[in-house]
Amino acid sequence: MPQLNTTNLSTLPGNVGVPGYDRSQVTTGIVHFGVGGFHRAHQAMYLDRLMNAGKALDWGICGIGVLPHDKKMADVMAEQDCLYTLLLKHPDGTREARVIGSVTEFLFAPADPGAVIEKMASPDTRIVSLTVTEGGYNFHHVTGEFDAGNPDVVHDLSPNAAPRTTFGLVAEALARRRARGIEPFTVMSCDNIQGNGDVAKKMFTAFAALKDPELGAWMRDNVAFPNSMVDRITPVTTDEDRSAIAKEFGVVDQWPVVCEPFEQWVLEDTFPLGRPPYEDAGVQLVEDVEPYELMKLRLLNATHQGLCYFGYLAGYRYAHEAAQDPLFATFLLDYMDHEGGPTLSPLPGVDLPLYKQTLIERYSNEHVRDTLARLCAESSDRIPKWLVPVIRINLANDGEIARSAGIVASWARYAEGTDESGQPIEVVDRLKEPLMAAAAKQHGDKLAFLRNRDVFGDLVDNARFTQAYLRTLDTLHDKGARAAVEALVALD
């Protein structure tokens, strides 16, 4: 079986969708940072859909890898002419495979930062988009300010340094456009961050201002940073997925993407240099994204955290295993009804009870095989952004907080690094060391984990919160995760 590339595209079996457009005619209009699973399952898929309808052929994507581990993606992209397979896994077990053709170039920044800068400086580039994870925005969780102490940022701020970070690369490209009289591109964040465009604006302009105050001011006044809400559960690709795609669809693909069938993208329509006709592909273009973002982050992303630590400690390893357990599903629905939901703004036209129920159904799709380990990773980037705001609002409004406090306690127990059968847990977090050290102390000093003010701010000083937190932490220690969830469900 030949490997996926342009030459072999026409030999693929009939059950695999392939680009129906001439890729040699596609020109680059978008430069994308963070070509991981999600970008390839979401934004690149929407563009491929448009291109198959004969539209947006001047909006091809040039992918950029910034981190050393992105070399692997660069190599695969080079070998496969940037083609990859997107495999949709339906709840009834049926699968759909399509080769996506909208990514047409890939540049690995560490090998040639100058080429990346020139690609963005080119007038053809009208959008620079991002899926660089929550950590990629480099802001302090409590102050919300740009972290100028990050060693790579310090490097990029030194005179004549070849940029290593997205900030350094983007700022230099914008400086060149400004010097050459070329209008700035739009920076489109597609990460799971509340006000992702606003946060991107704050961080990119803060970096630029440190480098050159005039450039920072010019960016603040001239560069558009639309906000967006993005949604499609995209687990990490496994070897099993690679083999299944080869066996069932006859495609040898080194790095396919698998995902659920659900898709949603709500986007603020602020693109001074134009944009692809996304609305023709099913994207919702709106004036104000915030209500949609809050709904997604405080219901979907927060319940992912509600599922993952309790579920892992109770012995589950996949999201569907925990979500199919009626106790866990009830807990998540209770959290949404009593804590996450009441903090949301009105959402005209959205059936919120249906949205919540659909989340449980999406998590329960056993074919997606999303791992709890993926959901437990980088918690210190997630809990402060998705759950802590819910807690703060409910504390201020005298709302309910027991379930949210329980989720924080489940993270604290998970960070002890062993599950309930004594098996080690591989904690993946850039703050792993301080968090695990704090969790190790909490049998004696019960609030040790919460004292990390860089993550939780002053929550540890709030007696109503700490009481609820300790109630679940004690139950986790004394009786285990299942009993702790039962106690939270009994509150209803």
Nearer to ligand 44H, 26 or 283 (CB): 283
Interface with ligand NAD (CB under 6 A), residue from 29, 36, 168, 216: 36
Does residue 62 belong to the site contacting ligand NAD (CB under 6 A)? Answer: no
Does residue 135 belong to the site contacting ligand NAD (CB under 6 A)? Answer: yes
Secondary structure of the chain: what % helix, strand, coil (to 5)?
A: 50, 15, 35
Does residue 380 belong to the site contacting ligand NAD (CB under 6 A)? Answer: no
Nearer to ligand NAD, 273 or 373 (CB): 373
CB of 249 to ligand NAD, least distance (A): 22
Does residue 263 belong to the site contacting ligand 44H (CB under 6 A)? Answer: no
- Which residues inside 157-216 make contact with ligand NAD, applying CB under 6 A? 166, 191-192
Does residue 232 belong to the site contacting ligand 44H (CB under 6 A)? Answer: yes
Residues 6+ apart with CB under 8 A from 353: none
Residues 6+ apart with CB under 8 A from 151: none
> What radius of gyration do the chain's Cα atoms show?
23
Nearer to ligand 44H, 215 or 408 (CB): 408
- Which residues inside 115-144 make contact with ligand 44H, applying CB under 6 A? 133-134
Instruction: Give the ranges where 17-163 is alpha helix by DSSP (H).
Output: 37-41, 43-52, 71-79, 113-121, 151-157
Question: What are the angstrom distances between the C-alpha of 146 and each of 40, 149, 199, 205, 389?
Answer: 28, 9, 10, 10, 19
Report d(CA 84, CA 255) in Å as an integer: 7
Interface with ligand NAD (CB under 6 A), residue from 89, 141, 202, 232: 232
Q: C-alpha 268: how far from its chain's center?
A: 18
Does residue 403 belong to the site contacting ligand 44H (CB under 6 A)? Answer: no
For every residue of 387-412, DSSP letters joined together read THHHHHHHHHTT---HHHHHHHHHHH
Question: Which of these ranges, 49-57, 65-73, 92-100, 398-406, lies near ligand NAD under the rule CB under 6 A?
Answer: 65-73
Question: Which of these ranges, 2-10, 129-137, 285-293, 479-487, lies near ligand NAD under the rule CB under 6 A?
Answer: 129-137
Provide the token pair at 364. 């329960």
Interface with ligand NAD (CB under 6 A), residue from 131, 227, 303, 379: 131
Interface with ligand 44H (CB under 6 A), residue from 275, 304, 320, 392: 304
CB of 238 to ligand 44H, least distance (A): 16
Strand order in the sheet with 264-268: 228-231, 264-268, 284-286
Are 459 and 388 a contacting pair, CB within 8 Å? yes
Interface with ligand NAD (CB under 6 A), residue from 34, 184, 341, 406: 34
At 314 the three-state DSSP class reads coil
Instruction: Give the ranges where 223-271 is alpha helix by DSSP (H).
Output: 239-249
Does residue 67 belong to the site contacting ligand NAD (CB under 6 A)? Answer: yes
Are 45 and 100 a contacting pair, CB within 8 Å? yes
CA angle 268, 272, 275 (to 5 degrees): 65
State the helix-helix crossing angle for 402-414 and 302-313, rounded to 10 degrees: 50
Interface with ligand NAD (CB under 6 A), residue from 29, 60, 136, 341: 136
Are 145 and 130 a contacting pair, CB within 8 Å? no
Nearer to ligand NAD, 35 or 435 (CB): 35
Q: Which does 226 bind (CB under 5 to 8 A by kind): ligand 44H, ligand NAD, none?
A: none
Does residue 301 belong to the site contacting ligand 44H (CB under 6 A)? Answer: yes
Does residue 260 belong to the site contacting ligand 44H (CB under 6 A)? Answer: no
Does residue 431 belong to the site contacting ligand 44H (CB under 6 A)? Answer: no
Q: Which does 375 bind (CB under 5 to 8 A by kind): ligand 44H, ligand NAD, none?
A: ligand 44H
Does residue 231 belong to the site contacting ligand 44H (CB under 6 A)? Answer: yes
At 287 the three-state DSSP class reads coil
Q: Give the number of residues in contact with ligand 44H, rule: CB under 6 A.
A: 12
Q: What is the DSSP letter of 155?
A: H
Q: What is the largest CA-CA distance in the chain?
A: 66
Nearer to ligand NAD, 191 or 334 (CB): 191
Q: Which does 37 bind (CB under 5 to 8 A by kind): ligand NAD, ligand 44H, none?
A: ligand NAD
Nearer to ligand NAD, 69 or 180 (CB): 69
For residue 178, what is the enclosing H or E element?
helix 166-180
- Residues near ligand NAD (CB under 6 A) are 33-39, 65-67, 70, 131-136, 166, 191-192, 230-234
